[in-house]
Structure formats: C-alpha cells, structure tokens
C-alpha cells in the first residue's frame, strides 16, 4: 500500500466492498492492515513458544545435526564414525588443556567434518575440522544428553556420547582459560567503519608477535569478498588505536577551525546569531570530545559520523552537519544521541579526507605503538636508526634493478622491516633535527619509530610521535612538492608569504625549492 501511494495508485477490491479513493475505504484498509499485522505477530509468537516447549521436552527442533549425531525422524541418533572424534576432542582437551593440540591430533588421526546430503542431492562437508569450531563443540551440552534454550538446559531424549564427568572437567578448564584472557576494549568505530570496496570492517585481535606473553593487538578488518568479475578482493586491515586516534584528531581539528565549521553549520540551515554562538562554542566542544568516556564517546561518534571509509592512501569521514551543530550545543550531560526524527533530518553530509595511509593490504607486520620513557639527551639508538634509513635508501637507489626482497636480504632484514626502515626518510625535518639534538619527546623510542605507520603529512607525524603541534608549517611553492598535503588543511596551516621556512634549521629562506 505504501508503494501504491507513492505513485498515486488507488486500490479497489472486487470481492470486498471498499475503495481507497474515499475516507471510509481508507479506514477499512487500515483496520485490515492492523489485524493482518496482529495475526503475523501472533503466528510468530506461537512458533517461538512451540520451539521452547519442544526444547523443554528434550526434542530436537530441526536444523543441521551436530558432529557425532544424525537427525532421523526428528530425533538425534549417535553416528558410529563421528562419535569417536567427539570423545577424542573432550579427552585430549582435558588431558592437555590446549585447543591447538586437540586440532593437531584430529588432523593426525584423519577425523573430518560431518558429511550430509541436501534435499537437492548436493553433498556438503567432509573437510578438516576447523579450529574455531572446537570451542563450540566443547561447550555444547547436547553431547551429555541435554538441550539448551534461552540460557537454560533441559534433559533430552537422545543418547549421550560423552560422560558427564568428562564434560564437566572440560567446562572447568574452559572457564579458567576464559578468566585468563584480557578483557577486550570497546572499539569506537564498530558499525560505521568500511573499506574502499564498501565492506564493513569488524574488530579483530591478533597476537603481538615475539613469542608467548605478548599482548594481543586490536585491528579493524574487512572480510574477503569476491568482486563482480569473480576476482578475490583481499581483506583490508587497519590498526584500531591508530585509526581511532586519527578520527578523533580530525574531528577536534574541525571543531577548532572557525573558517571550516561555519559553512558546515550553514548546510544544516543555521544562520544569524545562532551560527555565531555555535562557532564561538565549537572549541569548547572539541575539548569536551577529548574528555568523554569510552561508552559515551562511542555513541557520540556514531551520531556525528554516518560512515568512515578506509582507502589505501586516505581515510574519509562523512560528518552529519546537523549532528555537529547539536554536539556543539550539547551540555555534556548523559549520552549524546540522535532520535529517529533527528537522524532523518541530518541528511546534509560533510566529507573530510585525511591523506594518511593506515590500511594494511599486504601481510606486513605493523605492530602497535608502545610508549616508553627515554632520556632527553641524544639517543644513540635513534640516531643509528636514522643513519641506517639513509643507508638503506642509498642502497635502494644504487641497486634499483634488483628485487627489493634481495636488497633487504643483503642487509639482513625481512622485506617488511626494510620497507619500514626506508619510510623513515620521509620524516619531517624538524623531527629529524630533534632526534639528532636529543630534544625528541621522552616517549619516542626506536621501536615506536620503526613500527609507526608513518603518514606523509608532517602534522600527523608530529601527533603520532608525540611532538607538540606547530602553528605554522612551510609549504613549497612553484614546482616543488608540498611539505604537507593540501587536502589535509585541517592538520596544518599554510604560509602564503613571499618566504618559506627551512624546517631543518628553523631559519627563513627566500628559496621556494629549499
């Protein structure tokens, strides 16, 4: 009916005495639609109650049978070939306490996944048992003759294939392992983060490397997807803490820039004295954004940003102009959210393009940044690292006909380590001078410098490495390349005078190419 109304189509029932062209016919139509929706919800409630009663009576309600059982006439029957594999999983896990050892033993003994045939005759399954499915098998109470529904377990009518004592011992080990795991931090961009192919990126954790005991690293990662032409599009991965930090810095830079915030607020139909008041209060909103707790900040970002896209060479932020105006006028009490009507009104978007490469498309180990204390004197390890970067660049230019892998192997480095070393040659001149003079921040270490996903923008480099932000940066004119990308004018200010600044010495110069 909504579809008909959009095109001005009237509905006339031949077998019923009502016509939507008059008020009485529309009333009857609305009454019938209401009862139809009521019947639909009643049918859904009845089906849900039926499933609950079947579970409470120990019946199998359908679906794919778990490993070790077959479904026959609505009842689970033990499978003589798969039941030993389930017992092996529980016995090995209780004996070793490690899922990896269980998985290796299953592969060695040749146990496979369940094989079943669909109604169309297609055979599915039969591959190796996945490591990720072992946790589900170890927690499934169906193997001790019980069924679970709504967080409660009831005795079932099928025969168990695992002793209750063995199953309880496995649950104790699983609970101990779960308590040892670190609590996962709440990621701020979950639900609004996408890659350049439109795939949603989810929070993932990976090992920090370097052996046991290393902290797990949080990443945002997109799934593998097949393109239109059938080619496989590789997943995109970005470090979570760095991407969140860049997003917050971009929003704060926008809020403190009066020249940029005015046209955005005007897009939300805000003019006159209200516009001037919001522009005056926007720096306070930037400071408030930095003080918010993680749950409140996560909700605020989802209200301010409709989408964040990660590309190979940039990050795009789609900011709601109306939400930005509401956030500036927000008093900071409670949670900052937008209602359904406000979200429908916030149709004006402002796009912020940050020319920074945070997406990891290849298998290169980009570990998280670690803040360590260091002395204010010249750090020999940092100076030596800069010299190694210069030597690596010279070697790369002199032997550019060789593959990069062979050049890296000649220096005793892997390809990923060699690429991070060469990238240090694009540090801002004042950062290099500070390292040589020993005036770098105390948190700048050799590991932080080599493992940093170094952007080309000097302003973002200073933020990531802990240097104080500069009010004025030099921009090369004429045929020279810009010192800071003009697309990211939120991070730097441009000097338009006749002279430029030599950042390596801090002296003014009239040469445009220096």
Confirm whether 426 is domain-assigned: yes
Q: At 499, list the tokens.
A: 């002279």
Percent with pLDDT over 90 in the chain: 22
In a domain, 157, yes or no: yes
One domain, residues 350 and 439: no
CA 237, 239, 245, 246 torsion-angle sign: negative
82: domain CATH number is 3.90.1750.20
* Length, in residues, of the chain: 514
Q: Do 210 and 359 have their domain in common?
A: yes
Q: Are residues 326 and 423 in the same domain?
A: no
Query: Do 119 and 239 belong to one domain?
Result: no
Evaluate whether residue 123 is within a structural domain. yes
User: What mean pLDDT is predicted for residues 117-139?
Assistant: 82
Average of per-residue pLDDT across 490-505: 31
Domain's final residue, options 368, 401, 423: 368
Residue 54 lies in a domain: no
pLDDT at 227: 53
Determine the average pLDDT of the residues in 94-100.
Answer: 91
Is 374 contained in some domain?
Answer: no
Range 139-154 average pLDDT: 84
Residue 229 lies in a domain: no
* Burial zone of 475 (CB within 10 Å; 0-12 exposed, 13-18 middle, 19+ buried): buried
Domain boundaries, position 425: 380-509
Tell me: pLDDT of 477 over 70.
no
Q: Which residue has the higher pLDDT, 459 or 427?
A: 427
Residues 150 and 262 placed together within one structural domain of the fold: no
The winner for highest mean pLDDT among 37-41, 145-149, 346-350, 358-362 is 37-41
Q: Which of 211-215, 420-424, 465-469 has the lowest mean pLDDT?
A: 211-215
Work out the mean pLDDT of the chain and round it to a whole number.
78
Q: What is the dihedral of CA 395, 400, 406, 407, to 10 degrees?
A: 10
* Residue 23 placed within a domain: yes
Question: Is position 388 within any domain?
Answer: yes
Question: What value does the CA radius of gyration of the chain take, rounded to a whole number of Å?
Answer: 31
What are 95's two structure tokens?
Answer: 């004996």
> pLDDT of 225-243, one tens digit each?
655 555 667 788 888 888 9
The strand pairing partners of 71, in sequence order, are 76
Q: Which residues, including other chains, have CB under 8 Å from residue 310's CB and lie 6 or more apart?
A: 193, 194, 195, 196, 201, 220, 236, 238, 243, 358, 359
What are the pLDDT digits (tens) for 315-369? 999 999 999 999 999 988 889 988 877 887 788 899 999 988 887 654 433 333 3
192 and 167 in one domain? no
The answer on 357 and 239 residing in a single domain is yes
pLDDT, tens digit (0-9, with 9 covering 90-100), for 188-212: 898 899 998 888 998 887 655 444 4
Domain identity same for 348 and 241: yes
* For range 98-117, the mean pLDDT: 87
What does the pLDDT look like over 160-176, one tens digit per residue? 999 999 999 999 998 88
Q: Give me the number of domains the chain comprises.
A: 4
Q: Are residues 209 and 153 in the same domain?
A: no
Q: Do residue 364 and residue 274 come from a single domain?
A: yes
pTM for this structure?
A: 0.45
Q: Give pLDDT, residue 149.
A: 75
Q: Are residues 462 and 359 in the same domain?
A: no
Between the alpha carbon of residue 493 and those of residues 82, 268, 468, 469, 485, the distances in Å are 68, 26, 14, 11, 11
What are the pLDDT digits (tens) for 263-289?
Answer: 999 988 888 898 999 999 999 999 998
| pLDDT score recorded for residue 402 | 82
Based on the fold, state whether residues 349 and 257 are members of the same structural domain.
yes
């Amino acid at each position: 009916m909504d579809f008909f109304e959009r095109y001005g189509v009237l509905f006339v029932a031949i077998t019923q005495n009502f016509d939507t062209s008059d008020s009485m016919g529309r009333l009857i139509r609305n009454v019938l639609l209401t009862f139809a929706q009521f019947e639909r919800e009643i049918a859904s409630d009845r089906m849900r109650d039926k499933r609950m009663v079947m579970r409470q009576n120990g019946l199998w309600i359908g679906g794919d049978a778990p490993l070790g059982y077959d479904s026959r006439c609505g009842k689970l029957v033990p499978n003589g070939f798969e039941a030993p594999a389930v017992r092996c999983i529980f016995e090995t896990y209780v004996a070793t306490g490690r899922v990896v050892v269980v998985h290796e033993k299953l592969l060695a003994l040749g146990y496979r996944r369940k094989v079943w045939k669909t109604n169309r005759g297609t055979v599915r399954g039969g591959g190796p048992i996945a490591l990720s499915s072992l946790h589900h098998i170890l927690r499934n109470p169906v193997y001790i003759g019980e069924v679970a529904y709504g967080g409660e377990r009831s005795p079932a009518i099928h025969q168990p294939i695992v002793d209750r004592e063995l199953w309880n011992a496995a649950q104790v080990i699983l609970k101990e392992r779960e308590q040892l795991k670190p609590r996962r931090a709440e990621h701020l961009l979950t639900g609004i983060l996408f890659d350049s192919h439109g795939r949603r990126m989810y929070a993932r954790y990976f090992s920090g490397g370097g052996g046991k005991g290393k902290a797990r690293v949080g990443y945002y990662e997109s799934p593998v997807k097949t393109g239109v032409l059938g080619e496989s599009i590789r997943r995109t991965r970005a470090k979570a803490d760095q991407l969140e930090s860049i997003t917050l810095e971009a929003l704060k830079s926008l809020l403190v820039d009066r020249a940029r915030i005015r046209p955005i607020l005007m897009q939300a139909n805000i003019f006159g004295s209200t516009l001037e008041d919001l522009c005056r209060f926007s720096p306070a909103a930037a400071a408030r954004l930095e003080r918010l707790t993680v749950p409140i900040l996560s909700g605020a970002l989802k209200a301010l940003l409709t989408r964040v896209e990660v590309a190979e060479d940039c990050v795009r932020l789609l900011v709601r102009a109306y939400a930005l105006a509401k956030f500036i006028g927000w008093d900071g009490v409670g949670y900052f959210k937008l209602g359904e009507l406000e979200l429908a009104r916030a149709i004006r978007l402002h796009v912020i393009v940050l020319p920074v490469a945070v997406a990891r498309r290849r298998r290169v180990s980009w570990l998280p940044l670690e803040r360590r204390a260091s002395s204010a004197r010249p750090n020999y390890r940092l100076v030596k690292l800069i010299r190694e970067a210069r030597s690596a660049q010279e070697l790369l230019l002199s032997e550019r006909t060789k593959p990069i892998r062979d050049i890296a192997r000649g220096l005793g480095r892997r390809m990923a380590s060699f690429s991070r070393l060469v990238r240090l040659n694009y540090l801002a001149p004042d950062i290099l001078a500070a390292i040589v003079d020993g005036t770098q921040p105390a948190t700048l270490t050799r590991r932080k410098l080599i493992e940093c996903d170094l952007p080309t923008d000097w302003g973002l480099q200073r933020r990531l490495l802990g240097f104080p932000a500069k009010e004025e940066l030099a921009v090369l004119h004429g045929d020279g390349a810009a010192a800071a990308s003009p697309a990211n004018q939120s991070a730097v200010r441009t000097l338009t005078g006749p002279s430029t600044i030599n950042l390596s010495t801090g002296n003014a110069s009239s040469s445009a190419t220096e």
